[in-house]
Amino acid sequence: MVHLTAATRAGDLAVFQTRSVISMLKNIKPEVNIGIKTITTTGDNDRRTTLWNLKDTGFFTSQLEDALLAKDADFAVHSFKDLPTQCRSGLKITAICDRNFVEDCLVSNLHIKSIEQLPEGAKIGTSSLRRAAQIKHMRNDLQVVPIRGNVKTRIKKLEEDDYDAIILARAGLERLGLMENISFVFDPTEFIPAPAQGALAIQTRTDDNSTNEIISLINNKNAEEETAAERKILNVLQCGCHAPVGAYAKINESRIEIQAFISNPDGTNYISRIKEGNTEKAEIIAENLAKELLGAGGREILKRI
């Protein structure tokens, strides 16, 4: 029997996601025995620093990568949006799981069904400059207030602290069975997600052929191509995953549509572009879109932040 160890962050959502990946693998390869190694990352330890003030990349992923390189684990399960666009030497992304929920959603104790129904000056909790910029672009009267913690902690803070609403990834709420907390879901073409949002990336060592063969069995081709296009935009912009940048790609048969934006953190100078074409040219389309964003003022935005 083959024995593998999966590295994951220690939080409820990360462990749930890892168990779902293990379940997919077991459905295909029931003879494989898989254990879980939970790891506390820098991002899990530091719950005070707002994410947009972080200077380093891999805040939630580097310790998992360390475990892989040390051979303390055979594969790691990441929220793909947290991974730097450049893979560390000796590691690779071997599978990307199908992502059912790419959207952001708003959670509020108020009875609202749209952003227009929020009261004037409402306080919105988010840890993301991307979300903050889009909220301010939609309604510049709203106050954006930093919030940290896992999904359940943020919901608890909404109930106990002075927030009118918080913005979270729909995928996390769905996977934890907390859908009843959602006030409304944003349209991803209007409120653009983070590149690779909702996708799970399975990372392995490049030289571990036997593990790579097993993990590749759960790769979803559409998810692979969509997230590659979205992350290509980040790569061309040369900005971290915490910048006020969003990208959303959607494949329909042999065509792909890619939408992206960049903005000042306060929602001003909001620049967005859409391009579409054949999926076989997805990364070229994404590269051209990113260059258009830079030429339209994105380069100056990135210099300022």
Residues with a known catalytic role? 81-82, 130-131, 148, 154, 241
Count CB-CB contacts under 10 A for residue 190: 11
Hey, which residues does 123 pair with through a beta bridge?
143
| Runs of H (alpha helix) within the chain | 12-28, 42-45, 62-69, 129-138, 151-160, 170-175, 209-215, 221-237, 282-293, 299-304
The label of the residue with tokens 């009261």 reads 119
The label of the residue with tokens 């707002």 reads 50
- b (16+ CB within 10 A) / e for 15-42: bebbeebbebbeeebeeeebebbebebe
Q: Euclidean distance between the first and final Cα of the chain, in Å?
A: 52
CA distance 262 to 270: 6
* 255-262: strand order across its sheet: 245-252, 255-262, 271-278
Residues 6+ apart with CB under 8 A from 191: 103, 104, 134, 138
CA distance 204 to 174: 27
Hey, which residues does 257 pair with through a beta bridge?
250, 276
Cα dihedral 228/234/236/240 (nearest 10): -140
CA distance 193 to 186: 9
